[in-house]
Amino acid sequence: MSYFPNTGPNASIFWAYNSSSQQNVQIGDYFEVDVVNEVEADTVSQGGVRCDVASLVYGEMQTSGQSGYLDKAQTRFFGGATAKASGEGFQVATNKADSYDIDDGNYQVTSNSSLNLYLQLRSKGTNAIGSSGVDQTRIFGIRLNH
Amino acid sequence: MSYLAAAIITTELKTDTWRQTGVSSGHITYTSVGSSDTSVTAPTTTSFRLPTGSSYYIEASLGASNTSKNSTVLGRVYNITDAAYIGQAASLCINTSHGFEAKQGRRVVRALVLDSDITGSYIDIRIEVAVTGGSTTFTTTTSGINNISGTGVPTIKIIELPS
């Protein structure tokens, strides 16, 4: 008799999103996801995902400025510094509060080694503070045949 | 009694990425960021060779900075072998009215090359940029776009699709 326990992620794609709004995201902080599908959450509970095999991962965010500014905000995938990885960030002109300052995505190709992957807020300015509404932080991944 | 761990299912897709390093004669230059998993090779720093037998989806992001905040960039995928632009273009507007000196949003040029489009044994492609205005640099390092470090870097990724 054999058992095939379905205790872990085993689909060709995975996705994750945030189920509650997130306020006061500052430089260096992460836009966090808390609902994960066909993927494990990161192992240190910081709102990322745990990539198990080589994957093409997209991170999408729609955020608004808070307390006046999301000054020259940028984001990046953080944690994928492996030989195969190359993450892409982006920048937007963001000098107004309450507008959708970030509405875009990052991508990264991860290596075969397990790694925790997060969406991190960066900034070239000095006052980057953001908020993300429900389901406005999303991660979508495709497991690759590497 | 035996226990077998559940296998992780993968797609049949393979992907390679190269990091943008600069520009040469209007052609984006790239460097590899790791070992190759696709059939794609890079004969030069500005070109990629897509061999027959597979289809390919090409997506290249544009990244540039301009300290004077005054330039525009139009990027396109160019089929060197057949001497033709293919796919969708993308543009950057780097000027004062937009208040920023780097790319705004994730601007990507992209093209789908079907196996049937490759009439010989391969085609070569490159990413071309047309720039208006001076002082625009496409230089990147491993930490990001020149003058704007820490955000990741513009890259080209080529996804190999099984035919």
Mind listing the pLDDT tens digit for each residue in A21-75?
998 888 888 989 999 999 999 988 889 999 888 888 888 877 766 555 555 666 7
* CB spacing of B9 vs A85 below 8 angstroms: no
The full set of domains in chain B, from first to last, is 14-162 (2.60.120.40)
Residue B53 tokens, joined: 């037998």
Q: The whole model's pTM is what?
A: 0.84
Best B58, B97, B106 member to test A by mutation, with max A CBs in 10 Å, is B106
| B67 CB-contact burial (10 Å; exposed 0-12 / middle 13-18 / buried 19+) | exposed
Q: Nearest residue of B to residue A59 by CA position?
A: B106
Per CB-CB distance under 8 Å, the chain A contacts of B17 are: 86, 109
Contact A5 B6 (CB under 8 A): yes
List the single residue in A with minimal CA-CA distance to B162.
A145
CB atoms inside a 10 Å sphere around CB A99:
12
Give Cβ neighbours of residue B140 (< 8 Å, ≥ 6 apart): B19, B20, B21, B22, B63, B146, B153, B154
- If one counts every other C-beta atom within 10 angstroms of the C-beta of residue A84, the result is 22
The Cα-based distances of A31 to A68, A106, B107 in angstroms read 19, 12, 21
- Which chain A residue is nearest to residue B34, measuring alpha carbons? A84
pLDDT digits over A1-12, tens only? 445 444 456 789
Q: Is CATH 2.10.50.10 the classification given to domain A14-143?
A: no
Digitized pLDDT (tens) for each residue of chain B, 163 residues in all: 666 666 778 899 999 989 899 999 999 999 988 778 999 999 999 999 999 999 999 999 888 887 777 888 999 999 999 999 999 999 887 766 554 555 556 678 999 999 999 999 999 999 999 999 878 888 887 777 776 665 667 889 999 998 8
Chain A partners of B102 at a C-beta cutoff of 8 Å?
A: 91, 124
Euclidean distance between CA atoms B149 and B141, whole angstroms:
8
